[in-house]
Amino acid sequence: MSKKLHVAIVGGGIGGLAAAAALVHRGISVAVYEQSAALKEVGAGVFIYPNSLRQLERIGLRAPLAAVGARVGPGSEYCRMDGSVVGQILTTDSAGWNGMYGMHRADLLAVLAAAVPADAIHTGHRCTGFSQDETGAQLRFDNGQVAHADVVIAADGINSVLQKHVVAPSAPEYAGFRAYRGLIAADRVPQWRREAHLVWMGEGKHFMVFPVRRGELLNYVGFVPTASETAESWSAVGDRDELAAAFAGWDPRVTGLLSQVESCFWWGLYDRQPLGQWVNGRLALLGDAAHPMLPHLGQGANQAIEDGTALAVLLQAADVEGRPPAEALQRYEALRRPRTSMVQAEARRNGRRYDSQYADLAQRDREIANSAQLRRALYDHDIEQEALRSLDLDGVSA
């Protein structure tokens, strides 16, 4: 297999490393540049759903993910604030495959990093500049280093420094909510359903809990409206008493868990209207740099993993055929933008459902009960096969 194509990835988070692992699996040379001094992920829990898990398992990560993930399944429910059940949370695809894990972000990052050659990951590289011409692309870093590549993937988050080289800069949009999050040892609440993802919905706010790290920890998040804008920070220390007060009088399972909380963190929720362009020549945006979304469908990391899979399929085909990589990037944008735009919009809608922003809650409850149809469509999607079909339609070898 040809390895003449070299891809530089700016950003060593989940999206960047998932793309790197997918590219390496398909024989593409990669280099990952991360601004921090070490690879790290904060923010505690993240869901891995069937649409991304099947892609990760195909590149050999089935066993390592199973070793650190917490299977989410039976007993997962949507509830009103008093605990009465509104409906079941779908935890399988249409085939009945329960490909759903609650994961600690640091555990997921470690699995992805292990799938990339160690000498391909460069920490302490804050990107400060980009240029390109007909021969290739060049990256500049604040440590004075310069890197050359055939393709650059910007996986550097919602505040991407490379986005301006693709589209006119646009500020992230504040959703009006602060999310309090944290972890608690599962053995401190022994009555908890160990595989359950539970969501409580109240007026203007909601609360959720799911297991991570083999079920040893419970990840909780409380979404609370704010009168003023809150910074987008995964590491700002929150006020546990303020969090508990926000959910006073709710289901005893919520108040009981919060009584065990010793410390928590908070972050502001932001997204963006869909961008009109993701690609400029040899540069492509990925994940939050392209399509930041609210967390109310849990699809942010999953869509970034889909992005990386699509890029790997399309760039491998371009490499084998000896075609310009810019063609593959244009195909990637055409393939991915409609789906991520839909998910961004649905995440916003689902947030309104969770926060009971309805004059008639019976309508909200009907939509929640019917949401399994949307989730099946999300979980059934196979981005690898879709990318391969797009190549077949144009008579391109994969």
Is 58 a known active-site residue? no
Structure tokens at 140: 């500049």
For the chain, the first-to-last Cα distance in angstroms comes to 11
How far, in Å, CA of 261 to CA of 208, rounded? 14
Whether the CB-CB separation of 173 and 262 falls below 8 Å is answered with: no
Torsion over CA: 304, 342, 160, 152 (sign): positive
How far, in Å, CA of 293 to CA of 310, rounded? 19
Whether the CB-CB separation of 273 and 173 falls below 8 Å is answered with: yes
Query: Of residues 26, 105, 178, 181, which has the active-site annotation?
Result: 181
Among 368, 388, 380, CA closest to 77: 368
Among 252, 304, 229, CA closest to 11: 304
Burial class of 89 by CB neighbour count within 10 A (0 to 12, 13 to 18, 19+)? buried
Among 378, 154, 112, CA closest to 281: 154
Using left for φ > 0, alpha for ψ between -120 and 50, and beta otherwise, residue 11 falls in left
Strands (E), 93-196: 101-104, 121-122, 127-133, 136-141, 146-149, 151-154, 173-185
Distance, CA of 297 to chain centre: 10
Structure tokens at 14: 């989940």
Would you call 130 helix, strand, or coil by DSSP? strand
Among 384, 382, 308, 337, CA closest to 151: 308
Strand partners, 48: 101
How far, in Å, CA of 98 to CA of 204, rounded? 31
Structure tokens at 186: 């599962």
The residues annotated as belonging to the active site are: 181
